[in-house]
Each structure stands twice: as C-alpha cells, then as structure tokens.
Amino acid sequence: MYQQFDNLARLRQPWRDFSEASKDWLRHWRRFSDSPLMRKCLGLHEQAALLGFTHQREAFDIQPVVDAKGFAHSVEQEEVWRTDFCHLLRFKKAFSQHEPRVLLVAPMSGHFATLLRGTIQALVQDHEVFVTDWINIRDIPPRAGDFDLDSYTEQLIVMLQHLGPGCHLVGVCQPTVSCLVATAVMSASQDPCLPISLTLMAGPIDTRQNPTRVNDLAKSKSIEWFKENLVSIVPLGYAGAGREVYPGFVQVGAFLNMNLERHQNSLKRLYELRGLGQDQEAQPIYDFYKEYFAVMDLPGKFYLETVKEIFQDHALPLGNMRFKGERVQPQLIKKPFLLTIEGERDDICGLGQTMAAQDLCSGIPAWKKTHHLQAGVGHYGVFSGQRWSTQIYPVVRHHIQNAQSLLS
C-alpha cells in the first residue's frame, strides 16, 4: 500500500511543482493586470498544487503577542531537549520571566505538532510553553528501536522530569490517555516533578460514552484486521525504510471522508474567493488545508496498541491499563488540579468521553476539578479558532492560575 502511494506521489510531484511555480508567476503579473481571468487561473493552479498529501512539516510561525498596553512582544522558539522520536520545543515571549511553564502534548495521530499552532499562540500570551514536536516515524532509522504506547507515556514522564517541579500538563485529543497515565504513574511513585495541573482536551478517556463513527469503526473489526489492512511498510528511499507504520495519508484520508462534502465546499469556496480577488478571506482556508494535508506516519505498534487498549478494550476506564507491566491507578492522583474540556459538536470524541477522567481521578478533591463544555464547536474547535481563543482559553488560563497560586 505504502509503496503504491509513494509511486503515485512521485509521479504527481512534477505537476504540483509546475502549478506552484505558475501560481507564483501569476501573482507576480497581477501587479500589472488583476483581471478575472488571471485570478481564476491562479485559483486553479493553487488547487492543483494544494490537493495532495505531503510529509513536509510547516513552520510554527507563532506571531508576536500584544499586551494590554498595545506593545508587541516577539515569541522565541528553541529546541531544549530531544530524543530519537521527539524534539521538545520552547516558546516564550522575549524577555519574559517567571511565567507558568506548560507542557503541551501534541497528538501523534496523522498530523504534525504544527496543527496546534493556534493553541500555542493563545497559551504563549501568559505562559512559557513547551511542545512535543514528534518526529515522522518514516524518518527515524530502525536502529533507534520500536515505539509503542508505553514509549509515548514514558517520553512524557521523562520530559516532565527534565522540566522539573511546578509544570502544568496539557494534552490534546489522543495523548490525553497517556497524560492521565503518566500523572497516575508519577503520583504512585511520589515523583517531585508531578504536574501541578492536568488539562485534558477532547480526548478518548472512555470511548464507551456516546460512541462516534470513529469509535464504531474501531470496534467493528478485529485487531488482526487493522494490522493486515491498515499497517504498511515504509518503502526504500527513506531513513525508516522497513518499519511497520500506520500511514498518515490513510488516517487523514479517513478524516476527510467523514466530512467530505464540507471539505469540498471549503475548497470550492477557496477557488471562488481567489477569483473574486478576496485574498484576505481566502488565505485562512488555504492556510488550513496547507497544514491539514501535511501528514505524519504513526509507528505500527503504537497504533495497534492504541486501537486495542483504548478503543476496543477500554483498558483505562475498566481498570486494566498497565504501564510497563504495572496496573495504572488514576485514583492515586490527588495533588494536581484537573480540567476536562469537550466540544458540543465533536464527531471524533463524543460527549462524556473526556469528562470520564473526573470519575477516574476519585482521589482529587472536588474543589480542584473543573469540566468545561464548549457550545457550538467540533473537535478542532476545542483547541483552535475563535471560540478556543476567546472562550476556552480563558478557562484554561484560570485553571492554571489557580494551581499556580498554590506555589506562591
């Protein structure tokens, strides 16, 4: 499967390159002629260059933060730690000091961490933000070893220990399970680097609650079916050649098919806006799909364990989740503040699936627990877009401030 996709992608790449070059040439000529024909030609070339997956990560491109007095503060980005599988990036305002430290855990679910650009942009207003920039597994040589669900959780624990005491942990979507497991493991061992707050956003803690189409698919087939039909081998020509992976193009293709008509209408709208010369309205649509079509492969073992343990066996809510052979006990979590967030229209993680963490963490006092249900947003609206910035982020900021006040 992967080899066939790669062959087709290589055959199509010259046409995408030609369309990209033609688009740039037409933009140059628009300085002299802004005719409807030129604009429509540009729109066609833009669509031809855009449609199709790429494995190239976009830049984070975090914009300067404007404070209450109207002063703009540039945001610095630097790599502060790395493993073979992940680079830990820090984002902070220039010259800022003593702001709460937040470890933002990006999903390993078909997209790069840049999908959380809007999440970072909001958080960095008031925090020093550390982001897990997962490396595309097809670019990691097999000699680096395998990567499974325990490996993911262990990376989070080691990162928290590297950052030291007093950090806040925020998980978005798929990694909410590992964030909760890591917090439970560190609580059991009384690790001094235990996060002081835990925020779980739109994640599959208990997929028995209001199952979605994604959950139904995971339950409808055996794990052997997933391995035989969805796991493939990285072809020659890449550093990770020979690795078993769940290809990113399969994952994102499935997401596209879930809302195919909506995506078709969005791309049609992009073309129409370019033809009308309304570039300011068109650019956000283009930027979204430029990011959305950048895909990242998942380690095969990690993917299969995630499907089986989280979506089929419901290991965490049933008390059967294990980390390195030891039973995970969320009830031992007592110190961190807990915030769970869900979107009313989420068609990937149904209502109640993230909120389930509230009951699992029975050792946390009620006054330390908060749940927020955001009206009018789907899955991606929980962590990006206007409602995230204006309605959800203030809840997250208040949650972190409450936990931070205990350190003062």
pLDDT tier, 149 (very low <50, low <70, confident <90, very high otherwise): very high
% of the chain with per-residue pLDDT over 70: 99
Mean pLDDT of 99-119: 94
Count the helices and strands in the chain (H runs, E runs).
Answer: 14, 15
SS3 342: strand
Picking from 232, 170, 204, the residue whose alpha carbon sits closest to that of residue 308 is: 204
pLDDT of residue 30: 59
* Region of poorest pLDDT, from 45-54, 132-141, 341-350: 45-54
**What backbone phi and psi angles, to 5 degrees, belong to 352?**
95, -15
Confidence of residue 408 (pLDDT cuts 50, 70, 90): low
> 3.40.50.1820, 1.10.260.40, 3.40.50.1580, 3.40.190.170: which CATH number matches 65-217+298-405?
3.40.50.1820
pLDDT at res. 31: 61
Both tokens of 12, joined, read: 């199509």
User: What average pLDDT is seen over the chain?
Assistant: 92
Which has more pLDDT, 52 or 339?
339
| Distance between CA atoms of residues 350 and 213, nearest Å | 10
pLDDT for residue 162: 96
- Look at residue 189 in the predicted model and tell me its pLDDT: 96
Which DSSP state fits 198? E
How many CB atoms sit inside 10 A of residue 397's CB? 16
**Confidence tier at 35 by pLDDT (50, 70, 90):** confident
* Host H or E run for residue 47: helix 36-50
Element at 81 (helix H, strand E): strand 75-82
The residues near 402 (Cβ < 8 Å, ≥ 6 apart) are 197, 337
- Annotated domain spans of the chain: 2-52+248-292, 65-217+298-405
Residues 100, 128: Cα–Cα separation, whole Å: 6
Q: Tell me whether residue 302 is exposed, middle or buried, using C-beta atoms within 10 angstroms of its C-beta: 0 to 12, 13 to 18, 19 or more.
A: buried
Q: Which one, of 103, 108, 61, lies nearest residue 80 by Cα?
A: 103
Q: 47-104, pLDDT tens digit by residue? A: 888 888 888 888 999 999 988 788 899 999 999 999 999 999 999 998 888 899 999 9
**Above 90 in pLDDT, residue 42?**
no
What gap in Å lies between CA 57 and CA 112, rounded to an integer?
6
Q: How much is the pLDDT for 32?
A: 55
- Cβ contacts of 302 within 8 Å, gap of 6 or more: 108, 147, 148, 149, 151, 152
Q: How confident is the model at residue 4 (pLDDT cuts 50, 70, 90)?
A: confident
Check residue 194 and give its pLDDT.
97
The β-bridge partners of 200 are 171, 340
| Residues 123, 389: Cα–Cα separation, whole Å | 9
Q: Which residue has the higher pLDDT, 284 or 123?
A: 123
Residue 169 φ then ψ, to 5°: -110, 125
Contact 267, 162 (CB under 8 A): no
Ranking 21-25, 33-37, 155-159, 292-296 by mean pLDDT, the lowest is 33-37
Instruction: Check whether 289 has a pLDDT greater than 90.
Output: no
pLDDT band of 33, cuts 50, 70, 90: low
Express each pLDDT in 187-200 by its tens digit.
999 999 999 999 99
The per-residue pLDDT for 134 is: 96
Average pLDDT over residues 165-173: 97
Question: Looking at the chain, how many residues does it have?
Answer: 408
pTM for the structure as a whole: 0.91
Long-range contact set of residues 397-404: C-beta below 8 Å, sequence gap at least 24: 397/126, 399/197, 399/199, 399/337, 399/339, 399/370, 400/100, 400/102, 400/127, 400/168, 400/197, 400/199, 401/100, 402/197, 402/337, 403/168, 403/196, 403/197, 403/336, 403/337, 404/100, 404/168, 404/196, 404/197
- What is the C-alpha to C-alpha distance for residues 280 and 141, in angstroms, rounded to an integer? 42
